[in-house]
Amino acid sequence: MKRIAITGGIGSGKSYVCRILKGKGIDVYDCDEAAKRLMRTSELIRRRLTELIGAQVYDGERLNKPVMAQFLLSSDENQRAINAIVHPAVGEDFLRSGMKWMECAILFESGFDKLVDYKICVVAPLEIRLQRIMQRDGLTRQKAMEWIGKQMPQEEVSSKCDFVIVNDGVEDLQQQIENLNNIIKI
Q: What is the pLDDT of residues 88-123, one digit of tens each?
A: 999 999 999 999 999 999 999 999 999 999 999 999
Q: For the chain, where are the alpha helices, taking DSSP H only?
A: 14-23, 31-41, 43-53, 65-74, 76-97, 107-110, 126-137, 141-149, 154-159, 173-184
CA-nearest of 50, 49, 34, 52 to 89 is: 34
Using one digit for the tens of pLDDT, what is the confidence trace for 152-166? 999 999 999 999 999
pTM of the model: 0.87
Q: Is 101 helix (H, G, I), strand (E, B) or coil?
A: strand
User: Between these two residues, 136 and 183, which has the higher pLDDT value?
Assistant: 136
